[in-house]
Amino acid sequence: MDVQKIIHEQVTSNPVVLYMKGTPQMPRCGFSSTAVQILQACGAREVLAVDVLADENIRQGIKQYANWPTIPQLYIKGEFIGGSDIMREMYESGELRQMLAEMA
């Protein structure tokens, strides 16, 4: 299957998807660690975490999918939200918590 189709399937069939380096239990970069901590602080429950280091095709493909050059990348209800800096801003403003609460 085409990597873009795989990514599309992941982001549209899961309520929250985080493409990151490593896993939530063992992030392999500071930005991914920050993203996981923010989601946990917001009480996000059903998060599909995709380790881009485990699949080079996904690692490159996700950058093309959102036209966003960096990882982590957060998707909520199929919509690209942003990376860890945007997540931090949205967390601090309460916007991210609100978006996730609306899904509960």
Joined tokens for residue 54 = 């485990």
42 is in an annotated binding site: no
CA angle 20, 24, 29 (to 5 degrees): 50
Q: Please name the amino acid found at residue 96.
A: L
Cα–Cα distance measured from residue 52 to residue 96, given in angstroms and rounded to the nearest whole number: 23
Residues contributing to the annotated binding site for [2Fe-2S] cluster: 29
Residues contributing to the annotated binding site: 29
